Structure 1
Amino acid sequence: MSKITEQVEGIVSPIVESLGFELVDVEYVKEGPDYYLRIAIDKPDGIDIADCALASEKISEVMDKNDPITDAYFLDVSSPGAERPLKKEKDYEQAINENIYVKLYEPLEGDKEWIGILKAYDEQNITIEAKIKTRTKTFDIPRTKIAKIRRAVVL
């Protein structure tokens, strides 16, 4: 997590929680000539557009007064969606025995991207069960090798 996203998380977390929502993710990215501050929120029965609008309004008010970002940016408050990223330990716990997508910094068994079932996790590794052609294989992936991990919708 970058210094900016850490600072923003510290600023917006109390706001999001006061509204009864969970802060899922904070992302600050440049796409083309524009910068985007993306904030993903959720609640047990799901987030709707009114929830996003309310959170966006409250976050904008506070960020106008205490913004660590010097560049102009677009604020995007949304649901994490069905393919929610796994950021916190609780996200991993909730994803046990669920399909996940993992993108690695370097190949493991010849591939950098995997879709499989999360079987276990600890501070060092995740264990996934993935189909390789006609076989199912279980293997450990060091968490330090993971570039991105999220739930996966598999049809």
Structure 2
Amino acid sequence: MFVHEFIDSKHSEIEAIVKQQGAKLYEVSYVREAGNNILRVVVDTEKGIDLDTCVNISDALSVLLDEENTTDDEYFLDVCSPGAEKPLLDIDDVKAAIGNYIAFEFLVPTNGLDEIQGDLEAVNDDVLQVKYNQKGRFKTINVPYNEIKSIRLAVKF
């Protein structure tokens, strides 16, 4: 069995371990970086993730993965946060981000724009209200959630 197949077969168990620690699973990926294989498990909580929680998740995942891994591939397990520009995975994440600076990409260009960065002011009936700066002028746009390709928190410069 290949590592990717093994990881896919354990996704629900990985997610259960993350939930037991009061966190949300954002992503599981298997990548090669600097000549090393890395199994990256990205987790977070509503208030951010702390090192102790990452360690607890890592310890529990290590037991699961080491007991049942039948592959010969060696890898490093990296349990980490999604970072300052974390993706907003669903409408609940978006609602929790009201008042934050966000960046999103449209499915289809809108008003001549492919993407927008701005302040998320409100979410009503799955429609986002975003205030953004276009060439020195502040504008407000209302965008249905289903017209957004990707959305994340952003750092304002």
TM-score of the superposed pair, with normalisation by structure 2: 0.70
Q: Distance in 2 between matches of 1:83 and 1:55?
A: 22
Pairwise CA distance, 1:26: 1.2
Answer yes or no: is the 8 Å Cα contact 2:106–2:147 preserved in 1: no
Task: Please identify, of 26-35 and 106-115, the stretch whose mean Cα deviation from structure 2 is larger.
Answer: 26-35
Give the match for residue 95 of structure 1.
Answer: 97
Match of 2:24 in 1: 23
One-letter amino acid of the structure 1 residue matched with residue 141 of structure 2: T
2:56 corresponds in structure 1 to 54
Equivalent pair of 2:27/2:43 in contact (CA under 8 Å): no
Structure 1: gaps of 5 or more residues: none
Compute the displacement of 1:154 (Å). Answer: 1.5
Q: Which residue of 2 aligns with 1:135?
A: 138
Task: State the identity %.
Answer: 27
Residue 102 of structure 1 contacts residue 114 of structure 1 at CA under 8 Å; is this kept in 2? Answer: yes
C-alpha distance in 2 between matches for 1:23 and 1:68: 27
8 A contact 2:88–2:153 mirrored in 1: yes
Q: Distance in 2 between matches of 1:88 and 1:28?
A: 19
Q: Which moved more, 1:94-103 or 1:63-72?
A: 63-72
Cα deviation digits, residues 3-22 of structure 1 (max 9, x gap): 98875541212212222x21
In structure 2, the CA distance between the partners of 1:38 and 1:141, relative to structure 1 (3 Å rule), is: farther
SS of 1:47's equivalent? coil
Using a 3 Å threshold, how does the CA distance of structure 1 residues 143 and 76 change in structure 2: closer, same or farther? farther
Preserved contact between residue 28 and residue 35 of structure 1 (Cα < 8 Å): no
Q: Distance in 1 between matches of 2:124 and 2:39?
A: 30
- 1:42 maps to which residue? 44
Write the distance in 2 (CA, Å) between the matches of 1:106 and 1:5: 34
Name the residue aligned to 1:112: 114
Q: Distance in 1 between matches of 2:7 and 2:71?
A: 9
Q: Secondary structure at the match of 1:101?
A: strand
RMSD in angstroms over aligned alpha carbons? 3.4
CA contact 2:118–2:133 (8 Å) conserved in 1: yes
Q: Which residue of 2 aligns with 1:150?
A: 152
One-letter identity of the residue aligned with 1:22:
A
1:130 match: secondary structure: strand
